[in-house]
Every structure is written in C-alpha cells, then in structure tokens.
Structure 1
Amino acid sequence: MTFTVSDFPRFFAAVNGGHRPFPWQMRLIDSIITEGRWPAAITAPTGSGKSAVVETHIFLTALNAVGAAPRLPRRLCVVVDRRALVDSQADRAARVLSWLETSSDALAAEMAGALRSLSLSPDSPPVVLANLRGGIATDRRWIDDPGACAVISATPDMWGSRLLMRGYGTSPAARPREAGLLGVDSVVVIDEAHLSRQLLGTARWVAGHAGEKASAIGVPALQVVESSATARVDEGGTAIGISAEDLADPGLAPRMTRPKPVRFLESPDWSGKKGSKKYVETLAEEANRLYDPQICGTVGCIVNRIDTALRLAEALGDDCPCWVGPMRPMDLTALKADYPGLFGLPDDGTHTTPRFLVATQTVEVGIDVDFVALVTELAPASSLAQRFGRVNRKGARDSGPITVVGPPERAVKDQLPYLQEDLRAGLTWLHDLDGPGGASPESIMACPPPPTLPERPIVKLPHVGDVMRWEATDDAMVADEELELWIRDSLQPDQLQAGLVVRSPLPDDDALAISLLTATPPSEDEVFPVALWKLRSVLTTLSERHGDHDRAFVLRDDEVNDIRLDDDPVDIRAGDVVFVDSGHALTRKGVVVTDASRPEALKTLWGTASTRVIVDGLPGAHWLEDLCGLEDDEAQRAFTDAAENGLITRGPDLIEGVRLSWIVVKGTEEIKDDDSIRQVWTPSEGLVTLEAHQDGVACRAGHLCDTIGITATLRDDLVAAGLHHDDGKADPRFQKYRLNAPDGSEPLAKSPARSAQDVSRRRWSSGLPRGWRHELRSVAVAWPAIEESDDPELVARLIGTSHGRGRVLPQPNASSLINEQRDDDALKNRIMDLFVEGEWCSLMGRTSWRLGAWTCCYLEAVLRAADCRVSKEGS
C-alpha cells in the first residue's frame, strides 16, 4: 500500500484507542499541507485535543518522506511551563513510537519505513524522542541525527536556553549543535502561550532573524506556533481552532458540553500561609464527600502548596498517590506504572484505580488525567480553568462535579505563588459560571477567564549584538549569561536549588565511596530537586542523628568530594548534587522534607539504568579478585571472554594485587555517548586509520545532506569539511601521546586500546599542552586543499568547530599547535595568522554574517552528526 493524507484518521484512531480525530484536527492537517507550514496559532480550548500536534507532526513527516506532503520541519518541540506536561507529551510520543515499531498494521510498517528513510542509519527508531524538563542530565539522542523525525518535550527554560546557545545542563561544546537544530528545521508549539509571553516573543524574533538565511540552505527555518485559547494572530497569520459547527461532532461534543457543576465552599481556615490541620481536614472531608464507590474513577485534589499536598495525601490514606513537582522522575515513572489508566496510558485491566490523587499546579496544563470529580483550592481564573479541564476530560460521564475551597471574599490575600488581585479575579469569575453547564469547556469559551496580571508589561526582544555574544559558546566569560531576560515572564530571583541522590550500597570507606561516585555520574531520573535552604537543613539534621553513615558527598564542577556536615551553614551551592547513603529519614510521599520521621523505601540507581556496580555482597563479587592485578586491556578481555556484557571500570585495590574495591559495568552505547572518549576510541577490533575515518565522515555527511535536502553547493562544502576535519590528528605528537599509535603505522583516527578506561586515563596524562585542539590544527593543515572549495571560509569554520570548540575568541596556547620539528614555514605562519594574530575571529564573524548564526550552528551540527555516527559504527 501507499499511504496518503486520507489515512490520517486511521492512524490517529490506531494510536488513540479507536478515537478518530476531531474536525479541527483535520483542518490543522489540511492547513499545514496547503500552506506548506504550521499555523501561527492553535486556539482550541482545554480538553479539545491540542496534544494531537504530536500525531500531526509524525504523520506529516512520514507523508513528506514518501513525497505526498511538502517539506516541513523535522523536529517538533512542545514547550510548556509545567514539568508534568513535558512528561505527558513524552508519554504520548512514546505511545505513537511503540505502535510504529510493534503493530502488525500495514500502515504502521509503511510509516515506520518512511520515517527511518530520513535517519542516518536504517536501525534508527522511526521517531527520536527527547524529554528536556530540567535536572542535571539531558537526553542527547536528538542532536545525533539532524535528518530524523523528532519530538522534543521541554520546559521554557530548557528549550529557550538551548535556542539561545546557552543550554542549561549541557556542555559548552554541545551548545552550537543544540541551537542550530532548534533554530533551523524545527517547529515549536508553545502551549498555553499566555504563561510564556517573553519566550514567545524571543522565539518569534529568532525565527524572523534567522528565517531567510536558514531557508537559503534548502531547509525550513524555525516556525513558531502559539497555542492558547486567547491567542491573537497578526495580519496574514493563520489560526486553527474550534468553531460552533465542531460541537456537532459526536466525539467532541461530550468533551465540550457535558456539565461540570461548580460549588464554592467558603472556609474561614483558608490562609495565605501554611494550611492548618483543620483546613486540611476540610479538604479531606470534601474529597471523601465527592468520592462515589459506584463510579469507577479518581477524585482529584489540587492544592497550591507542596506542604498542603503532602499532609492532605497522608490524611486521605494509603490509597492516595501524591504528584508534585519535586519528585524524582523515576518515582513518577513508577506511579504511572501503578496507575496507567489514570494518566491516560494503556491499561491491561490488571491495575487498580486510586480513590484520590493529590497534586499541585503541576497537573494544570495539558495532562491527560481524567478525574471523576475535583476538589481544588482557589487560584487565579486561568489556573482554575486548566484544573477544571482535568475533570470528565473525555466526556465519558454525564457530569463532573467540582468544589472550589476558598476564603470569604473580604479575606482573600496573597497565597504564593498567587497574588491577591488574581485570586480575587478568580473568585469573581467563579460566580459567573452559574449556568447549567457550570465549568464545561463550552461555558468557559462563552465566559473566558480573565488573564493574570502580566509580570512583565513589556516583552524584551534580542538584538544582533546579543547574538554575537551568544555565539561565543565555548569561551570563558567574566560572568555567566543571565537568560531570564529573554525567556522568562518573571524576573523575580529563583529559589536556588540543588539535587539529592540516594545510593546503596556505598563502601564504608569515604575515599572508596568518592571514587565509586565519580565513576557513576548521577542520572536525572534519580535526582530529587531540593531548595538549597531545605537541603542544608536536611544535611544538618542528618549529622545530628549520629546514625550509620551520617555523611554526605557533593558533585561540583565534575568532581566528587565529601561535605563537612558540622559547618554552619553546610557548604552546598546552587546546582550541586549531593549523595547520601540509603536508610535515612529524608522524604514524605517521595518528596524531600525537613520533618521526615521515618525512612521510606526508596529505589536507588547507579546513574543510568543500564549501569551495574559490583561490590562485596552483590552478584558477580568474584570478579573483584579475578580482575585484580591485570592490565586494563587484559581485564576487559577476561570479562568479555566469560560472556559478560559491558565495558568495565575498576576501582582501587582493596587489598593490593589481591582484591578490588569495586567494579562498574556500563553498556557499550553508554561509553560511545561520552563525546571526549568517542573522539579517540572505538569498540572496533581493527585499527581505524585517519584516511578511512575521514572518508567515512565525508560520505556520511553527503548522504545526510541528501536526506535533509541541503543545497548541492553546501553539500560539497560539508563533504570537503568531512574529508579534512581530523587532519590535525596526523601530528606525530597526537599519534604518540593521545592515541598511543603503534610505531610505523599509518596515521590513526582512534586509539587501538581495547579499554575505554585506558583511553580515559591517557586523556589526562597526555604529553600535549592543555587546550591543544586537533581540529584547530586541522584548519591550518587542510587550508591548501580546501581553498578550491566553493566557500573555503565556511569549510574552514566547519573543520575548526567540528567538536563545538574554537568559536569566536582567540584560542589559548594556540602557538603550541605548531610542530617545530616537522612543520614548514607556510604552515607555521598560517597557524600564527589564524589563531594568534586573530584571523580566525574575523573568519568566524564573516561566516556568521553571511550565513546567519543559527544556520552556521546547524551546519556544524550536521557535520558533527556524521562524525559521531561513523565513530559509533567503529570507524
């Protein structure tokens, strides 16, 4: 079969439990195909299926792959100011991906094949998924394949900082790649855009600034979609939303029109401060009143403060999960596994439904939960409208009762994060919802909530000078860039945060524990986000208990050290990650608190889920003796020969030459993702020559350009850059000190060492000067060969920035690139002119001006992707 646009309803139903698309969703498809771009705005209200932008993007990208749709952006970014929505959108995309990969439907197989044809490798997934919602680690798979169909779920900070070349939580070397792939060949849907006015303005400025030059290379520029029921579209823009005729649709009508009667419960105990015991009892009583055992479903309880949520969940009993922002991602994943139906995930019928779910604002926006009833604290009108949208979300029941608990009107005051004026406006709006429909979406469309007061009356837009500064992604600045001005509505200082990780079992010896923690960097999944003041209090309490392992360690600037818990205050800083042993009273309902009275059973990881640790008492402990005293290569070979999987890192000897303290086992793919090791190491058994590697990168770059649709001239430039990007590695110093190449061999691209641990050690013990960059030397060495290119300056730039470094400012220790014993005068002079006298800075400026900053970043990302793929394949 050959699928067409007429197959969209069938595809949509297959991935949405049989539900066919609504009329407005079909209009969205038709509009994108007709206009050749996404609309400026989606104005559908809460509960009407705005999350279907995921299915729309994946289907249209597959349709383009078979030549039946226009060339549209390959990456969809869904951005919203709620971490829970980021997870929800990621779950939705994962559901579609699962259908593409496992369904026996012929349509799934054809779509999957079409999508894979866009990827760098035929064994790639049909859709690349990424979840960027904050934390210490981020998913990098999306930057490794610029041509692939991708769905990226992100919070405003995580997406905006990457667009502006300063990605939070990412390395400076990765910043240009991320910026290029978000600023070119991407569409961003900013959901509930009224919550992110500043980010919307910045995104539109970047789209306008980079648009013309990005389109000139043959791919779409950034497209920005404002998703909000109150969106206003400039003249000439397209908006897609719900019309009165849509309410006749049998699938949409129940969602939009089923009544949601609203009751306001006045409570004299409502307070702008910490809720009292009596107030929590009032909320619990109302939740129990709304619970009907005859109706299978969950009563939602949404409150404004985390402390209130935890105490309410405890008051409602064990059958009451709690969902708040400061949870570990792994705990939220477990919660979804326990109650998949509650979260809109497939359920095989073996799971129970909890009577209650207590949550904070984290569930307000776009979450696919479907409560049978709702108790909520008073909040601004726009927040209440979002909370109401979680009740009878699919219109499957006759009605969905709602109770709003709040104070008498005269007693309304600030209850952070909400202000008195917005709370009063919310209370007034509630009184207007007194019709038979109550808070149904149809009623809210007729009586829209008043907007909250803007925290910034003026949207600040970037200018060209800002872009020039952002381009210096790898240069040491006097002060870090403060991006809040361009990506946040609020300029109030954030509550400083750190992370807390629980590990078990750690060695009793602190020095051995530090070495093991260094070898197992934390993953985002296992990190509790904690306010800095709260974490200091928790650590102080831990030291006062004088129990087992009353100690802590801190990861800061890539180094792990112990912490003095008797300091006042304890020396931890924003962005630190603190490790403690398991068994301490740290949490209530899976949230770090200062008043925990007993230890909770907390699952622990060793960084990524695939990492395995071998210590005394755990399976495989015999390896601690068997691999002790061997060379790195010998130890790895012995481990592999015994049919064990993974690459090993060995800790210090516990008994010299007799027994190791610990062993860490990681999957090959995880090692391959370490960029610094991947540059000089491959799991291939044979020698990887420099010529073979560069030929492979050039070939792969050309193929990638063809898949993406980059113009023929630029394709030739990227191929030329691939052919010469590692010329500098031929320097005998690099071959000897960095790669340990055998004497008399052809120049190599990768070390012949069979152990990644050995390569990592050589990185720090290399005889090359600190800061010596082979790609910068490559520019000077390759210059005579690339002068005949169509755009030699662009080719030179792509070579010199091929690892994310060498951008803009003069390079430190640049004269050390010269090999005094081997280089002729022409090469020496070229190195001096480029990297000492400043010609490189001028070249970078000229290429950015001609091609555009984001376009240059994008082309760098394409070349780097080709290099990474060839290295991962072992050449």
Structure 2
Amino acid sequence: MTTPLPTFPEFYRAVNDRDPFPWQDRLARDVAANESWPDEIGVPTGMGKTACLEIAIWWLASQADRTPEERTAPTRIWWVVNRRLLVDSTAEQAERLAKKLDAFRNSSSSEGNKTPDSDALAMVAERLCSLSAGRGEPPLKVISLRGGIASRTPTDPSCPTVILCTLPMYGSRLLFRGYGSSLRAVDAAMAGTDSLVLLDEAHLAPHLRSLTGALGECMPGVQPLLNSQRSTATVVTLTATGDPASKSRFDLDDDDQRHGVIRQRLDATKRLDLEVKESGDIARHLVDGTIRLMDEASRPASFLVFANTPKTARQVFNRLEKQAKTRKSKKTSIPMDPPQLLTGLTREQEAECIRKHIVDPDHGMAATRSATTPRERHLVVVATQTLEVGADLDAEYLITEACGVRALTQRLGRLNRLGNYADARALYIHLPPGKRRGGKEKTETVWPVYGEEPAGVLQRLKQCPATPDGMINLSPRRVADVLGPPGDAPGRAPEVLPGILWEWVKTTTPPEGEAPVEPYFSGIASPQYTVSVIWRVHVPEPGRRLWPRAKDREAVDIAINELKAVLNDDEIIHRLGSDSVTMEPLIGKAELRPGDRIVLPTDRGLLDNFGWDADATGPVVDVSLAGQGLPLDEKAIKRLCDIDLTSEIKKVLGTEDDEIDEMDESEKHQAIIDILKAIRAVETPQGWDPVEWSDFTNSLKPEIMESRREVARLKVGRPQPEGETPIGDFDENSLVASLHHPDPTLATLDGHGQAVGDQSRMVAEQVGLPAGLCEVVRFAACLHDIGKADRRFQLWLDPEDTNGVAMAKSDTPRHRWEAMRIRSGWPRGGRHEDLSARLVLAWLQQQPDWGTPIERDLLVHLVISHHGKGRPIVPPAADGTGERVRGVVAGVAVEASADLARIDWDQPARFRRLNDYFGPWGLALLEAIVIRSDHAVSGSMNGRRGSWK
C-alpha cells in the first residue's frame, strides 16, 4: 500500500466542511497510538459524538498498509441504539460519508481540479477498497437494520461496513437468534467478530457490555482465528451521563473548554421551570403547559414535548391536534402547524414524511436550521425516548414529564442545542404515580420506565438555587452538578452458562423450551420482547409465499404484550417462517413468540400516519405494492380498492375445479383489461398519495405473472428489485437471471466451485486467517456443490441436458422451478449439501494422511453448512432411493449413497468439536466466508455488484 494517509483533521474536514473539535482530533490520535478505544466516550450531548464513526473509519484506513494478520482496527462498525430512531442523524451521516468516498475512489481528476479535500477522500477511499476481497465493492458499505425483518446484511466479511441497528437487532444476532435473520450463523459472525460496537447512550443498554465479557468465559481454550483485538467484538459506550464502572473514560479537556463553539454549547441557556402537580392527568398537564408556553412566546417558535410512554404521547398529540385547529380560527393567537408525533413505532414510509417535516430548513427543528430564520407558525413535536439519542434537533422550548437523571440530561440536550436561543426555556412537570387496583386501591411508588428515580430528581431540583426569575439553570456545564449521579438501577441479567450458549448455537434445530435471548442483553426486569408487524392487502395461506418479500422498511416492532392486548382471543394470526417468505401454520395470540414476524391484513387497522395506534380502525397502506405489481386476489383487491372483481379474476385465473380452455384466451385478455379499467377508475384509496396512486395504477400492465406457491399478479413496467433472493428449502440460490455470462463456465459445477473457492481464499486472506485455514476454506468452497452431480438434481437444473456437462446453476424461470423439481424426482426439502459432504467424507476415507483431525472436521462442516444447515444436523427428506451420487475430489473418483432420508449422526459430534476448538463465533466466521463467497459469485451472474462482474 503506497497511498498516503491524510491526517484525521484533513479527512474530517473533507467530509464535514469544517474542522474537528479538539476532543475529536485527540480521540483519533489516541486510538491510533494505543491501537484501542477507551471503554467510554463521556462528552456531553450536542458535542458531535457521531464523529466516532469517522474516527473508526479513518483508523481502519490507516492500517490498510499492514498485513491482515497485523491489523487491529475492526472491519465492521456497529452503531447500536436502544430504540429504533425516526430521525437518525447518525445513519444520514454514515450514508453521506459512504457516498463521498465512493465518488472519489480511484479518482482520476487532473491536477488542476484536485483539492486537499478531494485528495483526502480519494486516499481514504483507495485504502478502504484495498481491504476488500471483492474488487467491485465500494469503499464503505452502510446498512440500516430497521424493524425485526432484515432485508440487508453484510455480504463480505472483508468489506468495511457500518451497520446501524437497535439493541435487539444486534443482541439477538450476537446470540445466534437474529431477528429477521435467515442465516443466523453468518449474522452472528458479523456481530461477534472483527467488530467495533459503538453503543450510543449506554444507560439504555447496561447489560450488553457485560454480556460480551461473559460470553468469553463460556469458551475456555478456544483458538482465536484473528488477533486478540479482532477475534471478538469491542464494545465502546457513548454517554453524556457517565458510568462509574468504566475502566477508562474519555472526556473533554482544557483545550475543549477554551474552544469557542464548545464553550457556547456548554453555556447554552436552558432555564427550567419546575411544576409539581398533586393529581390529574399527565397528558392534560403536558398539553396545558405547552399551550401556556406557546401563548407566552413573543414569536413563532419550536416546542418539543417529551412523554414517557407511547400511550401518553398519543394522548398529548391528539389533544394538541385539536388545539392546532382551534388556534387557526383565533386571530389573537400565533397559529401552529399540525403537531408531529414520534414514538419509534412507525414504518419507514410514514417516518420519512415526519422527518421531512421536522428537518425542513425553514420550518423544521433541525440543529442545522439558522436561528435567525423567522417562522410563520409554531412547530410542536411530541416524542417519547426515541428522540433522546441520535436526533440532531434544536428546540426553543421543552416540555417534559418527570423522568430519570439520564433521560432529563438527554432531553435537555435537544433544547437550545447549539446555544443560539437566549430565551430558551424548559418546563418540567412532576406528577406522582397514579393509583391502581390490586385487591384494594393503593398509591403507586414507581413511575413507568423510570421506577423511583423521578422522586430523587425532584428533590435535587428543589434544592438547586433558582435564578432571579425563579428558573433553574441547567446548561450542559451545570446539569451534572445539579442533578447529581443517576439513581437508576440497571437491574440484573441472567448468567450466561456454557450449556445455554450451546443451545443457542444450534441454529438448524433450535431446541424446544430454550432460554430466550432478550433478558441477556435487556435485563430480567424489562426484557424487550417484541414482534415485527407488517400490513398487506394479500395475506397468503399457510405454506404459500408472501409476495413481495417482506422488507424492514414496512415493519414496526411492537411489544408482544401490547399486540396481544389488541388482538381478539379467537383472532387468527398469520406468521412468517424463518426464511421471511413462507407462511407458517395459523396461530392464536397465546402462541406468539418474541421475534415473530406477523402479517396483518390492511383492513385490520392499528396504524395511522404517525405509527402504531391501538385505536386506529382505518385501512393501512400496503407499502410493498409500489413498483412490484397487483395481487390478483379478490380479497386483496377488495381491501385495496373496495370493489368486487371476483368474476373477472375467475375469468383470468380459472378455479380449482375449472380450467380455462385455450379457446378463451380473448375472453381472458378482455377480463384483464376490465380489471385494469376498474382499478384505474377507483378514487385514491385512503392513505395513498394521489400522485403515487396514479403512478402505481398506470404502471400496471395487462400481463399476468404466475408462480407456484405465490399469488398471481399483474406485472408492472419496470419492477423494483426485491432485494436478496431468499435461500430456502428449494435451493433457489441455484437460480440465476441468465446463463449468458462473459465466463459461461461459472454456471458449470466445476467452474462455479472453482470460482467460489478462489473468492473464499481471497476473503480468508484479507480477513487475516492463518495460511493453513485459508487453504481448508478454499478447498471446502471448491467442493460445496459437488452433491449437485446427483442425477436427479442435474435433471432439475437442465432437463434437456443442453450443456452436456454437470451444471451448478439454472436460468429456468422461478415459477417453473417447483414443477421441474417434481419431474426430476428430487425430493421436497432435499439438501444437495448433504450429498456434497458424503462425497467429501468418502474422499477423506481414501486420504487418511490429509490434514489434522480438526481440519478434516472443518472441511466436512464447511461443505455441509453452506446453506446454514448442519448445525448440528441436516434435516432428512422423504426419499429412499437406492441410487448413488458420484463425483471427483482432487482428481479422485468417489461415490456415496444418494438417499436423502439418511442422517449423518456423526455431524453433531463434529459440530461440537469445532465449536470447542474455534469457538462459536470463530466457526461461524469460517462458515460466513464460504457462504458469502458463494453468494458473491452467484450474485455476479444476476448482475449484482461483486468480485466476479
């Protein structure tokens, strides 16, 4: 590597068009010099903690000239928060950085067009690109995991990646139970190895940091694959309120205190008015306080209202909505925009609308908005804790109900964040907990979310000397002294025992009654048991596929108890399987499990423009349809358009008892035209934007797409890509869009194996595996598909034997795939990797001197697990054939039984030995290299970016 490295200030300036703060530059230099991060970054809120992303990326680039074995900077950077954020400046910042780096990689600008900034970006981009095995990869990938459905995951363990997600999304992946994950071992490897975990506001997730240490104690004697810094995940907490248990803490120093901008923010006016209420409705108190501040304001201003629960926030929002209409009719009052609601229980489509409103450069509340820009109306945003972290907002007025020290510190961080509003003011409303009935009426002593801590906060606020106007000065410089140390108790988390971890590692056949993972990263007192909910006009029956495939953008994570509370006792629930595509048998609400993916019909309601609402009864927009097509199902069209097209659909598709005669093609075509006319004549359905509805209906074509196990649908002109192809029981990864590739040998069994072997070796070397393991990984990758040589599988791929050689891929249309399987005789659910492993075992029997015992085990396991099975067994299929499968391994002819009903009962012991030797995450990393290399090579044939373009 000869590309020079810019200094961190040069890189930061190129990205952000301003110089870093002193603490940011100092932290970058400390991390590079010490080759490690402090346990805790303790700078106050509003001081630019998201720069830790730039520091981590710059540090990674700084080590690009080292050998992979010598690198200490992790390849993946996880930004983990406790809640899903609607306004996430961190995600936006990461995506902006990735786009800038991609724009400047391999920059060939002439000397006259070059600038110091472009040079700095080009140098970092080139260095990052050199780390990836895939030469077509961008310098930096950015992935946001939203909701419990993950449609995107890191595709290459060697590729520099930023992953932004919630605590449950990271914690469940770390413990081999990834929400929305179809390849749990791969996601566990991405979370548990070669990763820097930046835990934003650690007080919201106190158990995760201790969990990572406890997991190491469950693996005595494990042989680390990488060096000590990268074999595991490094957790760094970012917090404005501090953790006394931290071994090392990074804070502001004298240089920061003298910096003009930091000094202005530390001394920003934050005058707090304390109101103590003895009784009443907290929602009403918050609304009254907001109205009073609006009336006292001399000009239109921004108001941020914090509630402790989504229920309270919704009540405040509903009342302020009415207030907005009332003020509009009054001539004496400053009008207000319709209020905005942020609870974290919102789909991405609605979130984008809310985000657009509150970050509007003229009327919004973004910190980047000029304080001198006048407003025409008041802006009011009602929020829960979702805005305590990750939201770069700057309000002029703050209204909040009683909360804990950490929460109040964070909420104040959104008031006069940059110190530009001299009259900024906060209203803190303390209301004792209400009454409840538990046999007899009694007074509660704890608050929702914050326990008993608000009582202590009240006493500290009362003891604080007030300013002449009766306010309390809570500027960032004084807030810690006034409020004192946090009084929240993190509670306990269960102890991780080796036996429990071993049960989680069994991802192919999870044991019944296994320990749930949530308490281990969320604590026993308040584990985050959630389910993901999506809304569709077409809800398939069990065994059929959901179309289009579920995406995280349409999911909302709901507390499992809250969902159960609104469902009827006899209500039938549709649940997605682990592949995020196939519907499972119907269940009742008592059978709901944490991490489930639930599909609700759009006419069930429970969602409005501001997210989850248990009282909402109106239809929900199916956000999956745009750019995909229209399901030809009478119930679906009735839900969407409120029209009955049953007879027309029957003319097009026929019925189970009546097949359409070829002579009726003209009638069939006319029925399709009639359906299109009827759909286009419908007025814009509730919730749809008129322009979007018009674009959607006009995009529909009079062409039918039919696929086995999926709903028939009308095509659209240019369908949007649905994302990664799921890897299911029918081995659909063997399908490619076209076999017309510049290198046609990639579709053959030998060519595909060689390509995946070469890719795997490059990834393994770039990651930094020992040379011996790199060779085992390469060899396993070369052999991973040799079981496809089975006569039946070859008939499935190529019934006419048009190529004359054994194939690994087929370009057969997906809707014909199942029918071809049946004709070929390949059993439903049969796993070709099981046959591949049998051929490898047959070869090993003839090669008693090849490799060490652990290398022999690893070779077999990497072959048998390359579709996520074999952990610890491969499920059998109904077969019973007496045929043999034959192949060639390293020039030696081998054969084995082709009966897929047989189970390799040696695999569980083999799997256990490998886990004991490499550790669960080390073995998962080895699997991930083979699996993701297979995906990269297969993806290149489908036109996706990859190493083999």
Residue 769 (structure 2) aligned to one of 710, 724, 739: 710
1:679 corresponds to: 733
Quick one: distance in 2 between partners of 1:233 and 1:280? 36
Quick one: distance in 1 between partners of 2:936 and 2:513? 35
Q: Are 2:166 and 1:151 equivalent residues in the alignment?
A: no
In structure 2, give the amino acid aligned to 1:355: L
What does the per-residue CA deviation read over 1:20-44, in whole Å, with 9 as the maximum and x for residues that have no partner? Answer: 2222222221121112222222222
Q: Are 2:628 and 1:611 equivalent residues in the alignment?
A: yes
What SS is found at the alignment partner of 2:224? Answer: helix
Quick one: distance in 2 between partners of 1:534 and 1:398? 42
The change in CA–CA distance for 1:809 and 1:803 in structure 2 (over 3 A counts) is closer
2:261 corresponds to: 251
In structure 2, give the amino acid aligned to 1:854: W
The change in CA–CA distance for 1:257 and 1:516 in structure 2 (over 3 A counts) is same
1:267 corresponds to: 277
* 1:357-368 pair list within 5 angstroms: 357-368=381-392
1:547 corresponds to: none
Residue 112 (structure 1) aligned to one of 118, 125, 138: 125
Quick one: distance in 2 between partners of 1:870 and 1:7? 37
Q: What is the Cα deviation at residue 180 of structure 1?
A: 1.2
Paired-residue identity, %: 24
* 1:257-336 pair list within 5 angstroms: 257-271=267-281, 275=282, 278-289=284-295, 291-293=297-299, 298-314=302-318, 315=320, 316-317=323-324, 318-336=337-355
Q: What is the Cα deviation at residue 554 of structure 1?
A: 3.3
Quick one: distance in 1 between partners of 2:209 and 2:593? 31
Quick one: distance in 2 between partners of 1:629 and 1:439? 79
* 1:188-203 pair list within 5 angstroms: 188-203=197-212
Q: Is the 8 A contact 1:283 1:312 kept in 2?
A: no
1:689 corresponds to: 748
What SS is found at the alignment partner of 1:79? Answer: strand
Residue 175 (structure 1) aligned to one of 184, 194, 198: 184
* 1:8-87 pair list within 5 angstroms: 8-16=8-16, 18-66=17-65, 70-84=71-85, 87=88
Q: Are 2:453 and 1:422 equivalent residues in the alignment?
A: yes
What SS is found at the alignment partner of 2:427? Answer: strand
1:720 corresponds to: 779
User: 5+ unaligned residues in a row in structure 2: which ranges?
Assistant: 105-113, 325-336, 436-442, 641-647, 654-659, 663-698, 942-947
Q: Please, what TM-score do these two structures have when normalized by structure 1?
A: 0.82
The change in CA–CA distance for 1:364 and 1:751 in structure 2 (over 3 A counts) is same
1:593 corresponds to: 613
Quick one: distance in 1 between partners of 2:841 and 2:366? 57
Aligned length: 818
In structure 2, give the amino acid aligned to 1:11: F
What does the per-residue CA deviation read over 1:813-855, in whole Å, with 9 as the maximum and x for residues that have no partner? Answer: 599697348699x977899999756322222222222222211
Q: Is the 8 A contact 2:46 2:417 kept in 1?
A: yes
1:472 corresponds to: 506
**691-700 or 392-401, which moves further after superposition?**
392-401
Q: What is the Cα deviation at residue 260 of structure 1?
A: 1.1
Q: Is the 8 A contact 2:173 2:179 kept in 1?
A: yes
Q: Are 2:853 and 1:853 equivalent residues in the alignment?
A: no
The change in CA–CA distance for 1:416 and 1:679 in structure 2 (over 3 A counts) is same
Residue 239 (structure 1) aligned to one of 243, 249, 260: 249
Q: What is the Cα deviation at residue 175 of structure 1?
A: 0.8
What does the per-residue CA deviation read over 1:745-793, in whole Å, with 9 as the maximum and x for residues that have no partner? Answer: 211101241x122235546776334443221221221246565346222
Q: Are 2:833 and 1:775 equivalent residues in the alignment?
A: yes
What does the per-residue CA deviation read over 1:472-509, in whole Å, with 9 as the maximum and x for residues that have no partner? Answer: 11114222441133111243576765625154xx6xxx
* 1:631-780 pair list within 5 angstroms: 650-651=705-706, 662-663=714-715, 670=722, 672-676=724-728, 678-686=732-740, 688-737=747-796, 740=799, 742=801, 745-753=804-812, 755-759=813-817, 762=820, 767-780=825-838
In structure 1, give the amino acid aligned to 2:299: P
In structure 1, give the amino acid aligned to 2:406: S
Residue 554 (structure 1) aligned to one of 574, 579, 598: 574
Quick one: distance in 1 between partners of 2:229 and 2:859? 18
What SS is found at the alignment partner of 1:322? Answer: strand
* 1:201-600 pair list within 5 angstroms: 201-206=210-215, 213-215=224-226, 219-228=230-239, 229-232=241-244, 237-271=247-281, 275=282, 278-289=284-295, 291-293=297-299, 298-314=302-318, 315=320, 316-317=323-324, 318-340=337-359, 341=361, 342=364, 344=366, 355-398=379-422, 400-407=424-431, 413=444, 416-419=447-450, 421-434=452-465, 438-447=473-482, 449-456=484-491, 458-492=492-526, 497=531, 499-501=533-535, 503=537, 518-530=546-558, 554-557=574-577, 575=596, 577-581=598-602, 586-587=606-607, 589-596=609-616, 599=618
The change in CA–CA distance for 1:848 and 1:70 in structure 2 (over 3 A counts) is closer
The change in CA–CA distance for 1:200 and 1:311 in structure 2 (over 3 A counts) is same
Q: Is the 8 A contact 1:41 1:233 kept in 2?
A: no
Q: Is the 8 A contact 2:433 2:446 kept in 1?
A: no
2:937 corresponds to: 870
In structure 2, give the amino acid aligned to 1:424: A
What SS is found at the alignment partner of 2:390? Answer: coil
Q: What is the Cα deviation at residue 70 of structure 1?
A: 4.8
What SS is found at the alignment partner of 2:830? Answer: coil
Quick one: distance in 2 between partners of 1:645 and 1:705? 46
* 1:792-807 pair list within 5 angstroms: 792-807=856-871
The change in CA–CA distance for 1:373 and 1:381 in structure 2 (over 3 A counts) is same
What SS is found at the alignment partner of 1:367? Answer: coil
In structure 1, give the amino acid aligned to 2:496: P
Quick one: distance in 1 between partners of 2:87 and 2:197? 13
Quick one: distance in 1 between partners of 2:420 and 2:5? 29
User: 5+ unaligned residues in a row in structure 1: which ranges?
Assistant: 544-550, 631-643, 654-658
1:634 corresponds to: none
Quick one: distance in 2 between partners of 1:807 and 1:514? 26
What SS is found at the alignment partner of 1:44? Answer: coil
Quick one: distance in 2 between partners of 1:351 and 1:192? 32
Q: What is the Cα deviation at residue 338 of structure 1?
A: 3.1
What does the per-residue CA deviation read over 1:355-378, in whole Å, with 9 as the maximum and x for residues that have no partner? Answer: 111111111123211112211111
**520-529 or 151-160, which moves further after superposition?**
520-529
Q: Is the 8 A contact 1:698 1:719 kept in 2?
A: yes
Quick one: distance in 2 between partners of 1:668 and 1:751? 22
Q: What is the Cα deviation at residue 410 of structure 1?
A: 12
Q: Are 2:171 and 1:160 equivalent residues in the alignment?
A: yes
In structure 2, give the amino acid aligned to 1:241: D
Please tell me the root mean square deviation across aligned C-alpha atoms, in Å. Answer: 4.5
1:639 corresponds to: none
Residue 196 (structure 2) aligned to one of 164, 180, 187: 187
Q: What is the Cα deviation at residue 73 of structure 1?
A: 0.3
Q: Please, what TM-score do these two structures have when normalized by structure 2?
A: 0.76
1:99 corresponds to: 100
What SS is found at the alignment partner of 1:230? Answer: coil
1:546 corresponds to: none
Q: Is the 8 A contact 2:607 2:616 kept in 1?
A: yes
Quick one: distance in 2 between partners of 1:473 and 1:666? 38
Residue 128 (structure 1) aligned to one of 119, 141, 149: 141
Quick one: distance in 1 between partners of 2:404 and 2:89? 23
2:666 corresponds to: none
Quick one: distance in 2 between partners of 1:847 and 1:516? 37
1:641 corresponds to: none
1:141 corresponds to: 153
Q: Is the 8 A contact 1:741 1:752 kept in 2?
A: no
Q: What is the Cα deviation at residue 555 of structure 1?
A: 4.2
What SS is found at the alignment partner of 1:838? Answer: coil
